[in-house]
Amino acid sequence: MITREVDYALRAVLELAAGTEGRSATVLAEATQVPYPFMRRVLARLTAARLVQSLRGRGGGVRLARPAGALTLLDVVRAMDPDTVTLNACLREGAYCARSAWCAAHAALTDVQQELWHRLAGISIAALVQTEQARKPKTKTKPRRKP
């Protein structure tokens, strides 16, 4: 199951990928409808995972650390919660299960796990931005009336 933190991280990364400049945590929180304290935590984790870069100085904020086409859905999910995309505890990195050598469920779940990782790694952030922009409703601005 995708956690709220992963959802918020995806929103932030998609918003950054859709723009051309860095953004502040305040602006990102507002644009993505994520509470500011959550956004700060999300950005700290994304920065630690080197998916976003922190920009210092006047007009600072964050930006993607590499092109959106080089980032995948799996990158974002793993940065926020590596166990999110793990189907069972026995499939976690470094996990030991005494039954894994003969357990039919372990073998089947391993195959499904590998397919899930492969599918998530095949979805670029750039592709998600393109799809999102095509689906977003077009907002029309009303002309202002003269007083």
CATH number, domain of 26, equals 1.10.10.10
Element (H, E) at 63: strand 61-64
Based on C-alpha coordinates, what's the Rg of the chain?
19
Write out pLDDT tens, residues 112-139.
Answer: 888 988 999 999 999 999 998 888 887 6
Question: What is the average pLDDT value for the chain, to the nearest integer?
Answer: 87
Q: What is the pLDDT of residue 10?
A: 96
Closest CA to 38 of 10, 78, 66, 18: 10
21: containing domain:
4-85+124-135
Cβ atoms of residues 34 and 90 within 8 Å: no
Residue 49 domain-assigned? yes
In a domain? residue 39? yes
Confidence (pLDDT) at 20: 74
In a domain, 65, yes or no: yes
**Residue 106: inside a domain:** no
The reply to whether 93 falls in a domain is no
Question: What share of the chain has pLDDT > 70, as a percent?
Answer: 93
Domain count, the chain: 1
